[in-house]
Amino acid sequence: MELAGFHVTGAPSNVRFVRARVREACAGLGLAPGRLDALEAAVAEATTNAIEHGNAGDASRFVGIRVWATEETLVVRVTDEGRGGRPPVDPEPPDLDAKLRGEQSPRGWGLFLMRNLVDALHVSTRDQHNVVELVVQLQPRR
């Protein structure tokens, strides 16, 4: 069942709107508050990456958000209007000490964070758009 489907422009200020809208769409699913907070953080990171990397900061390009659920699974899909053609490179896992020593870029936390905030992360390209799917397993209702 589709819970939400919408687009926002690539203005960085829209990340807050996306977070709130996804939280609202998922409110009736019975997710524990911590799980909902983790999903919201992952959605914010995926949206920020779509704006900054996929759409190259071009505020006139859109980011699409689609939220749907089955009895077992919740999926949030974030799609940009970027260059597509290849999924983002999966960087080496961030090492805080190496970052502090300047041996790793201070950036590069996005995919790592998303992967650790949800149950599954799928990154792909479709029709020349970058697509990130965040998957959360739902507890069976009794």
If you write DSSP's letter for every residue of 38-102 in order, what string do you get?
A: HHHHHHHHHHHHIIIIISTT-TTSEEEEEEEE-SSEEEEEEE--S--SSPPP-PPPP-HHHHHTT
Strongest mean pLDDT among 66-70, 83-87, 121-125, 127-131: 66-70
Q: For residue 128, what pLDDT is reported? A: 78
Domain region containing 101: 2-137
User: Does pLDDT of 142 surpass 50?
Assistant: no
Query: Residue 92 falls within a domain, yes or no?
Result: yes
Which of 40-44, 76-80, 97-101 is predicted with the least confidence, judged by mean pLDDT? 97-101
Grade residue 120 by pLDDT with cuts at 50, 70 and 90.
very high
pLDDT of 87 higher than 60: no
115, 93 contact by CB (below 8 A): no
- List, for residues 97-114, the tens digit of each pLDDT value: 776 787 777 667 788 889
Query: What pLDDT is attached to residue 111?
Result: 85
Residue 27 domain flag: yes
Give domain status of residue 19, yes or no.
yes
The pLDDT of residue 117 is above 70: yes
What tens digit of pLDDT does each residue of 23-40 get? Answer: 999 999 999 999 999 999
Asked, for residue 102, whether it belongs to a domain, the answer is yes
The answer to whether residue 28 is domain-embedded is: yes
Asked if residue 142 belongs to a domain, the reply is: no
pTM of the entire predicted model: 0.86
Q: Tell me the percentage of the chain whose pLDDT exceeds 90.
A: 65
* 128 alpha carbon, distance to own chain's centre: 18
Measured CA to CA in angstroms, residue 99 lies from 41, 47, 90, 93 at distances of: 22, 24, 17, 11
Closest Cα to residue 44, out of 81, 75, 16?
16
Residue 44 lies in a domain: yes
Give the CATH number for residue 33. Answer: 3.30.565.10
pLDDT of res. 93: 73
Whether 131 is covered by a domain: the verdict is yes
Cα radius of gyration rounded to whole Å, the chain: 15
Give the number of domains in the chain. Answer: 1
pLDDT of 139 > 80? The answer is no
